[in-house]
Structure 1
Amino acid sequence: MKTESPINKDLILRERLALQRTILANQSTFLAFLRTSLYFFVAGLSITSLLNLTNSITIEIFFFTSSFIIFLIGIVNYFRQKKLIIESEKNIGDFINNYL
């Protein structure tokens, strides 16, 4: 008669920690998008005084538009990845419930 080997609970812990690292990486990526968006916004605000341009409205509009687009991409990316993380977490949860 075969005896089954005990379940390696370290594997379950590693999977939980990997999910936590993935969540933190997703949040860090969103903050990087936000930071870049703010850089473009500040550049749009300060371009007139920095370069002493009188008709710099097109450059300002470019920076403000770029800032807004980068911010939207960051938000969409964050929620799309969050949804994928939650779906993968459900799979890990089923695995844990089956073997506990």
Structure 2
Amino acid sequence: MNKDLILRENLAIQRTVLANQTTFLSFLRTSMYFLVAGLSIRNLLEMENGLAYQVLFYSISVLIFVYGLINYIRQRKKIQESKKHIGDYKLEYLSEE
């Protein structure tokens, strides 16, 4: 088996892991933006229904965080599954004949 091919596949999976982590951090950052917006909306806009907007921003923040976490876990499982097949293509090719 070509060791360069196996190395290339391992590096590709490592890049995918890093991309998955970066995506999760982006979801976390966006969630924190909505959290900060919820914290500051009542002070910036002195309105009667400022509490409703605050709860809305908090809810959006939690939803974005939960969605990002679920997405991260799902992708991590897929990546773990694909690690099993590194260097396995020669065997699959021979078994098809």
TM-score by length of 1: 0.83
Q: Could you tell me the percent identity over the aligned residues?
A: 57
Divergent runs of 4+, >4 A: none
Once the two structures are superposed, the pairs formed by residues 1-100 of structure 1 within 5 Å of their partners are 7-92=1-86, 95=88
Structure with max Cα Rg: 1
Secondary structure at 2:85 match in 1? helix
Distance in 2 separating the partners of 1:41 and 1:56: 14
Segments of structure 2 that go 5 or more residues without pairing to the other structure are 92-97
TM-score by length of 2: 0.86
Q: State the Cα deviation string for residues 46-92 of structure 1 (Å, max 9, x = none).
A: 00111222431111111000000000001100000000000000111
- What's the RMSD between the two structures over aligned residues? 1.6
Secondary structure at 1:91 match in 2? coil
- Greater RCO (Cα-Cα under 8 Å, separation 6 or more): 2
Segments of structure 1 that go 5 or more residues without pairing to the other structure are 1-6
Contact 1:48 1:54 in 2 (8 A): no
